[in-house]
Amino acid sequence: MAVLRHRRGLWGNRCWRGELDAHRPAAPALRLLGPLGTEMALLCYNRGCGQRFDAESNSDAVFFFLLCFWPDACTYHPGVPVFHDALKGWSCCRRRTTDFSDFLSIVGCTKGRHNSEKPPEPVKPEVKTTEKKELSELKPKFQEHIIQAPKPVEAIKRPSPDEPMTNLELKVSASLKQALDKLKLSSGNEKNKEEDSDEIKIGTSCKNGGCTKTYQGLQSLEEVCVYHSGVPIFHEGMKYWSCCRRKTSDFNTFLAQEGCTRGKHMWTAKDAGKKVVPCRHDWHQTGSQVTISVYAKNSLPELSQVVANSTLLNVHIVFEGEKEFHQNVKLWGVIDVKRSYVTMTATKIEITMRKAEPMQWASLELPATKNQEKQKEDKTE
């Protein structure tokens, strides 16, 4: 085991107070000596050793003596460090630990001679740089064609809503024509019968908006009719009557709203004229067009009309003889009126509008600004 030695100073270990440290003689340099009194200047590079040793005591002649009688002979790990699943150890012995400090303090499992040669550093792979000529030879030879990207589509400015309105083309299907022919024959006979007698049939529904009562006899003439005097309004997904602004998004809830006006039932349509009723409708879009579907049966092309400009759409549909549907839409995007049209079938009406630019619409209607909403509220009040 290494022994530390130094010579004691001439003045001993005691020092009187007031003496200057400058008069104290300098301490001799420490020397690390081996068991035989020789200096140990060499460092062992074996894994797990790290001790200093003397080259003479590490010779073959002295090695057997050191191995048998000197406990500080080179004790090292001939294997390599192993790190797996948070466990650390050496490949030459089975001991494993999770602490890195414990791993460094694992005593070597093999004894032998010290090694003063520093292990070589790992060889780094050489990166070969090729000349410009070699790079040009490696490139594939083909004819280059420069393709220019298309110019970005410029956003179309929103036209003024005051543009003149245009009637959209009406396309009547064969199924609607057949249904209307049958209705004309049956309605003609019924009109003749009604003209002969002014009697109200049992089961006739009231013509007032929002009233669901039916004629059950003379007692129905004395009943109070609770109905809506206004017209239905559909705007931005909300449904309500213009006379009482109870808004809802559900169509069935809208139909079940109780009337806000009291009066008499209207059993005949002689003086009532057309009855404005709500119709279920929805919309969908593709990349080039927007389609609105209005579910109204047996619509009358002669009395129906759909007009539009680039940003506004007004729908007026007469169906089932005496019913009307009105809808005014301020479109979210811009349409091409000349390439838009209306298809009328026996069960629904489809309004196909061509987009002026291929873009996705966030909604069908353009949301109203805060100032416009305030103006509407002031008018209603």
Of 28-32, 165-169, 286-290, 353-357, the one with minimum mean pLDDT is 28-32
User: Looking at residue 298, which CATH number applies to its domain?
Assistant: 2.60.40.790
261: number of CA atoms within 13 Å, CB side?
A: 16
* Per-residue pLDDT at 75 exceeds 90: no
Report which of residues 173 and 143 the model is more confident about. Answer: 173
The reply to whether 280 and 370 lie within a common domain is: yes
Length of the chain: 381
Instruction: Indicate whether 346 pLDDT > 70.
Output: yes
Q: Is residue 358 part of a domain?
A: yes
Whole-angstrom distance, CA of residue 366 vs CA of residue 332: 4
Which tens digits make up the pLDDT trace of 108-153? Answer: 888 888 888 887 776 776 766 655 556 566 666 666 666 666 665 5
Q: 305: which 2 tokens?
A: 């009309």
Per the CB < 8 A criterion, the answer to whether 79 and 48 are in contact is no
pLDDT at 47: 85
260, part of any domain: yes
Mean pLDDT of 280-294: 93
Residue 119 confidence (pLDDT): 78
pLDDT in the model for residue 376: 55
Amino acid at 322: E
Query: 237's torsion region: left (phi>0), alpha (psi -120 to 50) or beta?
Result: left
Is residue 165 located within the same domain as residue 299? yes
Residue 260: closest CA among 281, 243, 242: 243
Higher pLDDT, 11 or 258: 258
Confidence of residue 286 (pLDDT cuts 50, 70, 90): very high
CA gap 46, 51 in Å, rounded: 9
**Structure tokens, 278:** 């709500």
| 84 band by pLDDT with thresholds 50, 70 and 90 | confident
Cα–Cα distance for residue pair 105/327, rounded to 1 Å: 87
pLDDT at 380 over 60: no
Is it the case that residue 343 has pLDDT exceeding 90? yes
* Torsion sign over Cα 126, 131, 133, 139: positive
**Which residue matches tokens 């619509």?**
299
CA angle 306, 252, 381 (to 5 degrees): 70
CB-based contact 56:38 (threshold 8 Å) = yes
pLDDT at position 29 is 41
Pick 123 or 362 by higher pLDDT: 362
Residue 62 sits in the same domain as residue 173: no
Residues 278 and 259 in one domain: no
Return phi, psi of residue 174, to 5°.
-65, -35
User: Over 50: is that where the pLDDT of 164 sits?
Assistant: yes
The verdict on residue 136 lying in a domain is no
β 169-172/335-344 pair status: parallel
Dist CA 125 CA 346 (whole Å):
80
Q: Tell me the residue range of the domain where 240 lies.
A: 201-267
Out of 246, 267, 288, a domain closes at 267
Task: Quick: pLDDT tens for 187-196.
Answer: 655 555 555 4
DSSP string, 63-129: HHHHHHH-TTSEEE-SS-EEEETTEEEETTS--EES-HHHHHTPPPSEEE----SPPPPPPPPP-PP
pLDDT, position 312: 93
Q: Determine the pLDDT at residue 241.
A: 81
Residue-level pLDDT at 200: 80
Q: CA 212 to CA 203: how far, in whole Å? A: 11
CA distance 197 to 188: 15
Q: For 152, list phi and psi in degrees, rounded to 5.
A: -65, 145
Supply the pLDDT for residue 26.
46
Residues 173 and 278 in one domain: yes
pLDDT, average across residues 268-292: 81
**Whether pLDDT at 316 is above 70:** yes
| Residues 172 and 297 reside in one and the same domain | yes
Q: How confident is the model at residue 78 (pLDDT cuts 50, 70, 90)?
A: confident
Contact 233, 244 (CB under 8 A): no
- Where a domain ends, among 233, 267, 301? 267
Paired strand residues for 81: 90
In this prediction, residue 349 carries a pLDDT of 94
Least confident window among 59-73, 76-90, 102-116, 212-226: 59-73
Mean pLDDT of the chain: 76
Residue 91 has pLDDT above 60, yes or no: yes
